[in-house]
Amino acid sequence: MALVITVNGAQHTVRASPDTPLLYVLRNELHLQGPHFGCGLSQCGACAVLLGHRQIRSCVTPVAGVVGQSITTLEGLPGLYAYTQATHATAPALHPLQQAWIDEQVPQCGYCQNGMLIQAADLLMRNPHPTDTQIRQAMNGHLCRCGTYSAIIRAIKRAAATMA
46 touches ligand FES (CB under 6 A): yes
51 touches ligand FES (CB under 6 A): no
Which one of residues 30, 91, 146, 163 is an interface residue with ligand FES (CB under 6 A)?
Answer: 146
- Burial zone of 116 (CB within 10 Å; 0-12 exposed, 13-18 middle, 19+ buried): buried
Which one of residues 24, 83, 111, 149 is an interface residue with ligand FES (CB under 6 A)?
Answer: 111
Residue type at position 5 = I
Q: C-beta of 54: minimal distance to ligand FES in Å?
A: 15
Which one of residues 5, 22, 44, 97 is an interface residue with ligand FES (CB under 6 A)?
Answer: 44
Q: Which stretch binds ligand FES (CB under 6 A): 6-14, 64-72, 120-128, 140-148?
A: 140-148
Q: C-beta of 156: minimal distance to ligand FES in Å?
A: 15
Of 40 and 92, the one with the shorter C-beta distance to ligand FES is: 40
Of 63 and 79, the one with the shorter C-beta distance to ligand FES is: 63
DSSP output for the chain: -EEEEEETTEEEEEE--TTSBHHHIIIIIS---SS--S-SSSSS-TTEEEETTEEEEGGGSBGGGGTTSEEE-GGGHHHHHHHH-TT-SS--SS-HHHHHHHHTT--SS-TTHHHHHHHHHHHHHH-SS--HHHHHHHHTT---TT--HHHHHHHHHHHHHHH-
Of 57 and 95, the one with the shorter C-beta distance to ligand FES is: 57
Range 79-108, binding ligand FES (CB under 6 A)? 107-108
* Residues in contact with ligand FES by the rule CB under 6 A: 37-40, 42-47, 57, 59, 107-113, 144-146, 148
